[in-house]
Chain A
C-alpha cells in the first residue's frame, strides 16, 4: 500500500517526535523562566514576560516560523551590510523549527507554571525557610517536586497541541512526518493515502501520549491523599 515509502514515513515520524521533544524541553525551560519573571517583584521582568506572552499569542504560528526562518538571517545580513560587512547567514530548518515552536509554546508554558506556582502551599515554603534552607535549596527540595503535580495536566495539553504544531515546520522543508508524506504523495500520485497515513500516525502519537500522561499524573500525585 505504501509502495516502499514506509521507512521514509517512519523516519519522518521519528523526526517529528525528536523535534517535538526538543521543542517541549525548550518550552518548559522558557515557561519556568517566564513564570518566574511574571511572579517576580521587578517591574522590568514582569514587563518583558508580559510582552513575550502577548506577542507570541497574538501572531499565527506559521508567520512566526516564517519570521524566524527567513526573517532573522536577512535581518542580520542587511544590518551587517549597512555597517559595511558582507556576511551570509543560513538557518538550519531543524534549529529554526525547534526554536520557533519552543518559543511559542514557552509562552503557554509560562501561564501553566504561573498557575502551578500560585497553587503551591505558601506555608511549606515559609517552613522551609524557617528551618534554615536557602532560597535555592527550598526551591529544589520543596517547590520543584510539587510544582509538577499542578503543572502536569496543563503541560500534557501543551504537548498534545505542540506535537500537532510541528507539522508546520514541513513548510520550511524539514523532513518530518508531513514533509515525507508530501514527498511520497507527489511521487506516487496517491495524496489521499499518504496524508491519511500521516493523520493516523498523529492520532497514534496523541493516543500513546494520553496513556503516558495518565501514568505520569498518577506518579506525580503519589503520596497525595484524594479528597
Chain B
C-alpha cells in the first residue's frame, strides 16, 4: 500500500472518541520502528549465542581461574535490571571519557546504538550461558561414557553427542529468552533509539493520541511475540520427531463393536 491509499483510508476513519485515522497514518513509521526492534534482537541474539557457547565451556571447566569470572559475569547480568545495565554502559562510560578517548573507543561508547547492542548482547549471553549450562549437565552421563568408550573426546564429543542433545533440552528455555530479549529491546527507547517503542513515544508527544498509538504498538509486539513462540514450537516439533511414533502406528482401526456391551 502506498502513502496515498493509506491517507485516503485514514480520511474515511473517525477521529473521536478513538482516533482510528492516526493509527493508519502512523503505521508506516511504526513498522520502521519494528524493523529496528527486530534488528537489535537478531544482532544481540546472534552474537550473544556465539559468546555463550564459549562462556559455557569456561563455566564448566574445573579450573577456578576459568569458571569464576564467568560465574561473576552471569551473576551480575542476571541479578541486575537491564535498564541499570544500559545506563551503566551508555551514561557510565561518560565518566571514563578521557581514558576511552586515549584508546580510541570513545566514538563507539558515545553512540547509543552501539551501547544498546553491547548491553543487550552481554545480557542475553549471560542468560544463555546459564540455560546451556543446565542443558549440558542434563545430558545423560551414560551417553557421554559410551562416546568416550568409542574413542571420541574433546571437540568431537561435544559436536556429535553433547551439544545436539543439549540444544534440544535448552530449546524451551531458550525460546523464553528470545521472547524476553525481543520485548526487552523496548528499553533502548529510553536512550533515544527509534525502535518501535521509541517511535510510539515520539508519535504520542506529537499527536497526543496516547492510548491509540501505544495500544497499536502493543498489538504489533503481541503479534511478533506469538509468531516467535510459534516458530520455536515448530522447531521443537521437528527436533523431537524421533521421539514420536511414526504416523499410523498406534492408531487402530475403529472397533466395529464399540458401544455394544459385551456379554460376560
Interface 9-residue window, one of A36-44, A63-71, A211-219: A63-71
Proximity string of chain A (143-183) to chain B, C-beta cutoff 8 Å, 1 when within and 0 when not: 00000000000000000000011111011000000100110
Task: With A59-B218, A63-B197, A202-B81 as known contacts, state yes or no: A196 contacts B211, CB within 8 Å.
Answer: no
The A-B contact count (CB < 8 A) is 123
The answer, yes or no, to whether B8 is at the interface (CB within 8 Å) is no
Is the beta-carbon distance between A60 and B183 smaller than 8 angstroms? yes
Interface 9-residue window, one of A6-14, A21-29, A74-82, A126-134: A74-82
Instruction: Name the B residues within 8 Å of A58 (CB-CB).
Output: 218, 221-222, 225-226
Choose from A63, A171, A191 the contact partner of B218 (Cβ within 8 Å): A63
Q: How far is the CB of A198 from chain B (nearest CB, A)?
A: 5
Q: Tell me the bound Cα distance from A166 to B179 in angstroms.
A: 19
Q: Tell me the bound Cα distance from A191 to B201 in angstroms.
A: 25
Q: How far is the CB of A175 from chain B (nearest CB, A)?
A: 15
Task: With A63-B200, A66-B201, A74-B210 as known contacts, state yes or no: A206 contacts B79, CB within 8 Å.
Answer: yes
Is the beta-carbon distance between A170 and B83 smaller than 8 angstroms? yes
Tell me the A180-223 residues at the B interface (CB within 8 Å): 181-182, 185, 189-193, 195-196, 198-199, 202-203, 206-207
Instruction: Name the A residues within 8 Å of B114 (CB-CB).
Output: none
Instruction: Name the A residues within 8 Å of B17 (CB-CB).
Output: 78-79, 82
Q: Tell me the bound Cα distance from A124 to B38 in angstroms.
A: 50
The answer, yes or no, to whether B16 is at the interface (CB within 8 Å) is yes
The answer, yes or no, to whether A138 is at the interface (CB within 8 Å) is no
Q: Tell me the bound Cα distance from A185 to B81 in angstroms.
A: 17
Instruction: Name the B residues within 8 Å of A196 (CB-CB).
Output: 88, 92
The answer, yes or no, to whether A135 is at the interface (CB within 8 Å) is no
